[in-house]
Amino acid sequence: MMQKKMNVPLFELKTQYAKIRDEVRKAVDEVLESQYFIGGPAVDGLEKAVAQYEGVGYGVGVSSGTDALISSLMALGIYRSPLDSNPPVEVIVPAYTFFATAGCVWRVGARPVFVDIDPVTFNIDASKIEEKITERTKAIIPVHLFGQCAEMEKVMEIANRHGLHVVEDCAQSIGASRNGSFAGSFGDCGALSFFPTKNLGGLGDGGMVISNHKHVADEVRRIRNHGMNPKYYHKSVGGNFRLDAIQAAALLVKIKHLDSWRDMRESNAKFYDSAFKGSDVITPTIIEGNKSVYNQYIVRVPKRDKVLAHLRELGVNCEIYYPVALHEQECFAPLGYAKGDFPESEKAAAESLALPIYPELSKEQLEYVANCVLKAVSEA
């Protein structure tokens, strides 16, 4: 029997904030009293805490996940000067991910080269990377989408064989691991996002580049501050990609709770997994060796748009991550791709549906969402 109508948001932060309000306010207040807003002890502390959490040597706080990707590429020398008359270098990215992964490649003056995804994990299909490598290829950006690692051993083997850089897009996957190693620890570096809806979310925008390589971390440190080192000397152009102390202070409070929030997300995922067993709802597959952090819980359903509309009527707020594969984005039309080029990415864009998965969902809300999804799918 259906429960009484409820309203379930896709994401809700107020419940979580209420539990940590005093800690967060105290930490932010300390920054206000210090009037030390850029860099400083809070940023240094967060860099150490995140590096330790991710089991890597170095963390460099930056202004967003997007800027983490841009500064990573620039730090690895992937940046086209306005005076460069050579054809652009190429960077391999999955065709199905958040826009920023490919947008950043474009913004440093390189050409995004798309690769289709593995329909099981929604991550880059490593078996399709090699056919896209040319003499201009400089890097691969695998994305650990929705909280689950890409098959990094395969990506790294190809990258090493061809001498390519690897920047991991870990925006959705802080704390995710594959065969015991954390997202961001496989390649040259990893890009984290602290956007409020990510697993570790700040009070606004923020991000971090994590790395096991000191020279990469040092270069990102220089790039995030206009490419300056020593002071007022610029051997290459960077940007203002710095992290605010207020963000770092709040994130230092929140990172202490990250494991427990992850566990709550996993338990919500397990609830859905069993609720949808035997139905037409295709639940996420976490492949052997992976530990997901469930930034999103993505199902595939037939007649997705009808199901989505029905769910919204029932008060269940779902979303489509992502409705358009990147090779079909208007801004990338000059790259010359066509519909049909990446069938799995296009299929994912047509079938995927994100359900509420945030840690503080109540048992009643979870049951209501599951019942409504089953109802909407059966009536679609």
Ligand X SMILES: *Cc1c(COP(=O)(O)O)cnc(C)c1O
Footprint on this chain of ligand X (rule: CB under 6 A) = 64-66, 97-98, 100-101, 143, 169, 171-172, 193, 195, 205, 207
- Nearer to ligand X by Cβ, of 210 and 370: the residue is 210
Shortest Cβ 1–ligand X spacing (Å): 38
Shortest Cβ 117–ligand X spacing (Å): 13
- Nearer to ligand X by Cβ, of 252 and 377: the residue is 252
Give which of 61, 101, 73, 40 is closest to 241, Cα–Cα.
61
Shortest Cβ 306–ligand X spacing (Å): 26
Report how far apart, in Å, the C-alpha atoms of 121 and of each of 8, 90, 125, 140 are.
26, 25, 9, 18
Give which of 350, 357, 362 is closest to 172, Cα–Cα.
357
Shortest Cβ 249–ligand X spacing (Å): 18
- Nearer to ligand X by Cβ, of 243 and 281: the residue is 243
Shortest Cβ 87–ligand X spacing (Å): 26
The letter for the amino acid at 112 is P
Q: What strands, in cross-sheet order, belong to the sheet with 290-291?
A: 181-182, 177-178, 290-291
- Nearer to ligand X by Cβ, of 98 and 332: the residue is 98
- Nearer to ligand X by Cβ, of 58 and 146: the residue is 146
- Nearer to ligand X by Cβ, of 102 and 314: the residue is 102
- Nearer to ligand X by Cβ, of 64 and 268: the residue is 64
Cβ proximity of 224 and 241 under 8 Å: yes
Shortest Cβ 145–ligand X spacing (Å): 6
The torsion angles phi and psi of 42, rounded to 5 degrees, stand at: -65, -45
Give which of 203, 206, 144 is closest to 175, Cα–Cα.
144
CA dihedral of residues 136, 157, 64, 42 (deg, nearest 10): -130
Q: Mind giving me the DSSP string for 44-109?
A: HHHHHHHHHHTT-SEEEEES-HHHHHHHHHHHTT----TT--SPPPEEEEESSS-THHHHHHHHTT
Q: Looking at beta carbons, which residue is closest to ligand X? A: 65
Shortest Cβ 189–ligand X spacing (Å): 14
Give the separation between CA 133 and CA 146, rounded to whole angstroms: 26
- Nearer to ligand X by Cβ, of 160 and 197: the residue is 197
Shortest Cβ 198–ligand X spacing (Å): 6
Shortest Cβ 17–ligand X spacing (Å): 19
Shortest Cβ 171–ligand X spacing (Å): 3
- Nearer to ligand X by Cβ, of 145 and 308: the residue is 145
- Nearer to ligand X by Cβ, of 101 and 148: the residue is 101
DSSP state for residue 333 in the 8-state scheme: G
Alpha helices in the chain (DSSP H): 14-34, 41-53, 65-75, 100-107, 152-162, 214-223, 245-254, 258-275, 304-313, 343-351, 363-379
Give which of 156, 165, 248, 240 is closest to 205, Cα–Cα.
248
Report how far apart, in Å, the C-alpha atoms of 230 and of each of 149, 223, 233, 350, 353 are.
37, 12, 5, 50, 49
End-to-end CA distance of the chain: 18
